[in-house]
Structure 1
Amino acid sequence: MSLTFRLDPAVTPELRDGVLRLWADVSNAGGAVGFVPPVAPEAIRPALVQHFVAMAEGRSRLLVGYGEDGEAAATAFFTFNTHRLMTHWVWLYTVMVHPRYQGLGYGRELLEEAERAARGFDGIQAIRLTCRGGLGLEHFYASCGYKEVGRVPGAIRVAPGDDRDDVIMLLTLA
């Protein structure tokens, strides 16, 4: 089985609730998507609303991978730069695959689909993302063609005494 991807799906209550569940499940399984366990969907809701507002304003787009059950199983949010000197690349945020699908190649599928989508965006020549150090995520992204282009030591405080590097990755499309 593989995921079925949809760029810019309609934001319905089902999608909203599905992405909230996905985000909480990924976070609670130790995923590095902006929260630390334990976290409830209600604590994540404001961050998701910010993404949806950016989408409504045309500053962001959503890619969703759906499992066989029709539930959101993977996501990535594209955010466009508004600075006139940086409009040629896009940010990729909240890249996540549900824990039940991890280890099956769906993360790689998600990044391949994100690359295909970005190639269709007018004037976009690169994708930039950041990841939390200490989990080996930069190795996964590197295996998908991203290059580490920067690192801010200790920029992410997961807990008191547990600071992680913020690793900056870039995929050139041109």
Structure 2
Amino acid sequence: LKRTKIRIVLGDHDQTTTTDAPAKMRAVAAIIQNRNFDAESYNHDIALLRLRKPVEFSKNIRPVCLPRSGDPAGKTGTVIGWGRTMEGGMLPSIVQEVQVPILTLDQCRAMKYRASRITTFMLCAGKGSMDSCQGDSGGPLVLPYADKYEIVGIVSWGVGCARPGYPGVYTRVSKYTQWIRANVQDSCICT
């Protein structure tokens, strides 16, 4: 993926209207991909995008915090994205969100995935009709924390959308906090 082909849109809610608060566009100055990324297994599926211009936060544009220590398993997270609302369905014009239960590593490995496919750098979330879908990749799985949100997962891969026995698989952000901090040293980090 070339950085020149990527535009970041901040604060957009509905792609078909201009009556919302104006969205902000940012160009990407650099893509910082985790050097251990494995395209076959999707292990270490994480990258950072350095923007050309700083982001000004507002009511509609807020930072997400890095995860505090602790396993998010057993909690209910929120996935947000512009992906399909059902397998094979259309892409929505309005950003979607769904509440998903976060599974333990053992629960995920006991599902229909090959147990060895789910590494400690991943987490699983979803149940029944609640899942991320195609087009959501790279989007956040967040938990509320005080008056903020912390990002515990990044939509990575799965089999179809909301298929029984196949929860969504996410990059486990807590495994990368040191790497993130090392690569955003000149930026403000929400904690």
Structure 2 length normalisation: TM-score? Answer: 0.26
Structure richer in strand, relative to its length: 1
Structure 1 length normalisation: TM-score? Answer: 0.28
Structure richer in helix, relative to its length: 1
